[in-house]
Structure 1
């Protein structure tokens, strides 16, 4: 990674940390701690639905299947106090029928508490038709 300033590298590391926390807090912390990775007005898009705000995100995703998220390659495009990211993932459901793969498309913003996710769109990897 050449051409970045020390401040930009610190930003990239902070962004990677909050993206990691997105997966880890959902599985090893409390649900409320997981919600803290989002801004209060965050929008979470999944299954074609926009969930607006932490409460709406909580209401839907507290019902989601349990399992393990395995984050993959991440691209981060810095833009001052915000960044656009894309990250591949694999989800291994405790019930295998819920296992899936795909990409998280996120906007992260710098806040007084560090980097937080303001938008997250889940794009599922659909199996090829035979």
Structure 2
């Protein structure tokens, strides 16, 4: 497989993540990760089995992502992808970027880790308020 093929496959994988989040399709989101995959935000790391709860608690709207910057090294890769999230009912926006690690599996490229960094109005870059999604249930 060529580097161009790898780039296209990874871009499609990350697009499936964004479309899955936009459509609130947990199965599509989980499918882009390795079985030991994790998502980091809000000061915590969430394993794949917590994804249904995490996605259910996430605000709903449009996950608009940019073309990722990728560094491919054989069967592993790292990358950064920008995000502009637009909440559906208010059109309020959140902006930031994902920092990813990926691995080539028998099923193709998959995310192993995805970490969210939010960009604040004051210019700070951070991973969010600890346990924010769990507090939203109260």
Q: Same fold (TM over 0.5)?
A: yes
Q: Distance in 1 between matches of 2:82 and 2:45?
A: 20
How far has the Cα of 1:99 moved from its partner?
A: 2.6
Q: How many residues align?
A: 123
How far has the Cα of 1:61 moved from its partner?
A: 2.1
How far has the Cα of 1:29 moved from its partner?
A: 6.5
Q: TM-score, normalised by structure 1?
A: 0.86
RMSD between superposed Cα atoms in Å? 1.8
CA-to-aligned-CA distance 1:35-54 (integer Å, 9 cap, x gap): 111111111101111102x2
| Contact map agreement 2:26 2:51 (CA 8 A) in 1 | no
How far has the Cα of 1:85 moved from its partner?
A: 0.6
- After the TM superposition, which parts of structure 1 deviate over 6 Å for at least 4 consecutive aligned residues? none
| Contact map agreement 1:65 1:98 (CA 8 A) in 2 | no
Q: Secondary structure at the match of 2:58?
A: coil
Match of 2:128? Answer: none
Q: TM-score, normalised by structure 2?
A: 0.82
1:84 has 2:78 as partner: yes
In structure 2, runs of 5+ residues without a counterpart are 124-138
CA-to-aligned-CA distance 1:62-110 (integer Å, 9 cap, x gap): 2111000111142000011011010111000114386300001011111
How far has the Cα of 1:60 moved from its partner?
A: 1.7
Match of 1:3? Answer: none
Q: Distance in 1 between matches of 2:95 and 2:60?
A: 15
